[in-house]
Amino acid sequence: MSDGSIIELTNGTAAGCPFHLGENIGGRLPEYLGRHDFDEFYLVTSESLHELFGRKLVSQLTRAGISVNLITVAEGESVKSWPQLTALCERLVAAGATKDSIVGALGGGMISNLAGLAAGLVYRGLRFVEIPTTMLNLTDGALSNKQAINGALGKNQFGVYHAPLFVWADVAMLRREPERQHRSALVEALKNGLVNDVAWFDRMEQLLADGVGAVQDDLLGVCHEMIRSKLRILALDPSERKAGIILEYGHTVGHAVEFLAQGSLLHGEAVGIGMCAAAKVGIRLGVTAPEVLERQEHVLGRLMGAPVAVPEEFSPERIIEVILSDNKRRAGSAVRFVLVPEVGRVHLVDGDYETPVPEPLLKSALAES
């Protein structure tokens, strides 16, 4: 071969993982874990979730002959940070974790992110299993293989893609959740329809006509549909860097509002606010039909009782300041938005799924929001 030539190879890795979904399937987790060789199972959860679900889970695993080491962490976005990540990594090492160990994440997105990132860092990568206890994590967060913590300037600024060994999704755990948590998850599912599937959005609108509680009648079936709505998009682009970026509809403002709220807004609530802000931006640019905003506000506000307006205490200037530090920021100074011209379709600019938005226009839209 001559100097300067390039050999194109691939490492052959894939980021997918099995997703085991069912209701009242907790007793079968030892069987599925037993299909893998490991020395010890390190279960990361919170004190409250240990009381709700962890104690029974540990008992089931122990009876099956699986050695379990329980590690509890604090909950909340405010502690999804470097100090707690560092402490968890050190505790895993001190407790005797090895390259042959498996880490389990029992909780919502915050615990899942923290434990998943720790598993990705310790010894350059331990296997881990996601056991979601919230509808949002089960139907959305656990599908993307993204593990992250917040920084001083924004949400999810430091992280890695680290796929679980498998996801263990028992919707029976979701029946213990407050309705507000379900509403947060349903916002993300509505978003999937807004950007990709008008029939799915119509289906959600009909389902929610009787309120959020209607999902309880067929919790497993609805969760299955919600998962499939996101997987259809991830199949186009698992890295979420090209076509998959449409999943970020509402997240530009949503992430900023969630970060500023410091835990007083749930993720889905913040994304719903962000989707309405994005529709107002799109209308000002002549991209978005007013019907999109009307339908969003109808389903989110009237049917679900979710917030649709930016909290008054967050000024447009402060929101933009946080947006400019967002983990998805790309090259260039312009703020970029995923915009929806009509339900089920995303606006394209020269093949790009994000639209540059002038800062004065954004400020005006945020002031109205």
State yes or no: pLDDT of 3 exceeds 80: no
| Residue 300 belongs to some domain of the structure | yes
Average pLDDT over residues 314-326: 91
| Residue 116 belongs to some domain of the structure | yes
Residue 34 shares a structural domain with residue 103: yes
Catalytic pick among 80, 146, 230, 280 = 146
Instruction: Report the distance separating Cα 333 and Cα 343, nearest Å.
Output: 29
| Residue 8 belongs to some domain of the structure | no
Residue 106 shares a structural domain with residue 35: yes
Residue 38 shares a structural domain with residue 108: yes
Q: What is the CA radius of gyration of the chain?
A: 21
Residue 36 shares a structural domain with residue 127: yes
Strands (E) in the chain, as ranges, are 19-22, 41-45, 68-72, 102-107, 127-132, 146-149, 158-161, 166-170, 335-337, 355-357
If you write DSSP's letter for every residue of 352-364 in order, what string do you get? BS-EEE-HHHHHH
Residue 107 shares a structural domain with residue 226: no
What is the rounded end-to-end Cα distance, in angstroms, of the chain?
61
Residue 69 shares a structural domain with residue 198: no
Residue 220 shares a structural domain with residue 358: yes
State yes or no: pLDDT of 239 exceeds 80: no
Q: Establish whether 146 is a catalytic residue.
A: yes
**For residues 303 and 208, is the Cβ–Cβ distance under 8 A?**
yes
Instruction: Report the distance separating Cα 254 and Cα 155, nearest Å.
Output: 10
Per-residue pLDDT band for 154 (boundaries 50, 70, 90) equals confident
Most confident of 149-158, 203-212, 280-289: 280-289
| Domain enclosing residue 80, as ranges | 19-175
Catalytic pick among 240, 248, 258, 269 = 248
| Residue 11 belongs to some domain of the structure | no
Closest by CA position to 20, among listed 30, 12, 11 = 30
| Residue 299 belongs to some domain of the structure | yes
Q: How many domains does the chain have?
A: 2
Residue 154 shares a structural domain with residue 223: no
* Residue 272, domain CATH: 1.20.1090.10
Closest by CA position to 131, among listed 100, 106, 154, 102 = 106
3-state secondary structure 144-201: CCEEEECCCCCCCCEEEECCCCEEEEEHHHHHHCCHHHHHHHHHHHHHHHHHHCHHHH
Number of residues written out for the chain: 369
| Residue 6 belongs to some domain of the structure | no
pLDDT, tens digit, 9 for 90 and up, residues 205-229: 999 998 888 898 999 999 999 999 9
Please tell me the predicted confidence (pLDDT) of residue 167: 94
Closest by CA position to 267, among listed 342, 365, 189 = 189
State yes or no: pLDDT of 15 exceeds 60: no
State how beta strands 68-72 and 158-161 pair: unpaired
Q: Establish whether 248 is a catalytic residue.
A: yes
Residue 116 shares a structural domain with residue 86: yes
State yes or no: pLDDT of 13 exceeds 90: no
pLDDT, tens digit, 9 for 90 and up, residues 22-71: 999 989 999 999 999 999 999 999 999 999 999 999 999 999 999 999 99
Residue 171 shares a structural domain with residue 259: no
Final residue of a structural domain among 117, 149, 175: 175
* Residue 138, domain CATH: 3.40.50.1970
pLDDT, tens digit, 9 for 90 and up, residues 244-268: 899 999 999 999 999 999 889 999 9
Cβ neighbour number for residue 133 with a 10 Å cutoff: 25
How much is the mean pLDDT over the chain? 92
Residue 303 shares a structural domain with residue 364: yes
Query: pLDDT > 70: what percent of the chain?
Result: 93
